[in-house]
Amino acid sequence: MYQKKLGIIQYYFDEWALNRNIGTFSWLLHRLTGVILTIYLFAHILVVSSGLWGPESFNSWLKVVQTPLTHFLEIFLMICIGFHLLNGLRITIADFFLATKEHKAIFWVAGAIFALFMIVTLSVFLPRVFSH
Amino acid sequence: MNQKQSFSSAYGWFIQRITGILLAFFLIVHINVLHFGEKFFIDFNMVTQRLEGSFLWAIFYIIFIPVVLFHGLNGIWGLVEDYRPSQGAQKTVKVLLWILGIVGTFYGILAITPFL
């Protein structure tokens, strides 16, 4: 019940202060990336729906969302997707296969895959940022 | 205290995992095609070329859109629940999230029809 009296920032801060470990860190990042991705999802549906008003409308909207700046921001989108997807699979494996004891090891395996994914992402997205 | 409520949370937890596994597949395909496959400038013709007359892509998005919306909004719901709002606030948020999800699903699927 004590949570009710605290602000949401205080709640997350306390959670981190009390449990400073990988689990809390990934829990926080999972929430943050999840909220960002959900907001992005609605923006994405709205931009794509401009096609309902014809090809010109769609193309003019896509010009707005395909600039050096947005290609740069897309790198952060890939960070959010890569982390949320891999960490989500880690949680699911721990939940479904009762692998709670191995979850830290799985976290670092996921981390290695994430690092590889980011190398590929940067090699594709960085040239786009500078190719306009 | 309230058995019904605790059951619905367990369903939410389970569906979140199932939709998550599905999304891992859908997102890898979607991102691979649109962010790593296509040339860096996407326009109407490019999308039409890919989707036009393709039954598989239509089915892909008809499943993908509700699943991703459910996963995202159910995640927000979990976050709201953690903050322990009052019963009334919970009900309001739940109704709001369902409306967002249902409207988003129909509008999202409608949004891909110009390309089919």
User: Rounded to 10 degrees, what is the CA torsion of A63, B107, B36, A123?
Assistant: 60
| ipTM of the prediction | 0.89
Q: pLDDT for A12-36, tens place per residue?
A: 777 777 777 777 888 889 999 999 9
* Whether B93 contacts B85, CB under 8 Å: yes
**Which residue segment(s) compose the domain that B27 sits in?**
15-115
Chain A residues within 8 A of B24 when measuring between CB atoms: 85, 88-89
pTM attached to this predicted model: 0.87
* Whether B114 contacts A51, CB under 8 Å: yes
Looking at residue A1, its pLDDT comes to 45
- Domain positions in chain A are 2-130
Looking at residue B1, its pLDDT comes to 47
Report the alpha-carbon distance of residue A16 to residue A104 in Å, rounded.
Answer: 17
**Residues 6 or more apart in contact with residue A89 via CB below 8 angstroms:** A110, B20, B21, B24
Cβ burial of A81 (10 Å; 0-12, 13-18, 19+) is: buried
* In a domain? residue B87: yes
Report the alpha-carbon distance of residue B90 to residue B37 in Å, rounded.
Answer: 42
Tell me: pLDDT of A79 over 70: yes
Joined together, the tokens standing for residue B31 give: 């991102």
Which range, of A80-89, A101-110, B93-102, averages the lowest pLDDT? Answer: A101-110
CATH of residue B35's domain is 1.20.1300
B window 23-82, beta carbon within 8 A of A: 23-24, 27-28, 31, 35-36, 40-45, 47, 65, 68-69, 72-73, 75-76, 79
pLDDT band at B53 (very low <50, low <70, confident <90, very high): confident
Looking at residue A23, its pLDDT comes to 75
CATH 1.20.1300.10 for domain A2-130: yes
* In a domain? residue B8: no
Looking at residue A12, its pLDDT comes to 72
Chain A residues within 8 A of B45 when measuring between CB atoms: 55
The DSSP secondary-structure symbol of B36 reads I
Tell me: pLDDT of B3 over 60: no
Total domains present in chain B: 1
Joined together, the tokens standing for residue B100 give: 């967002």
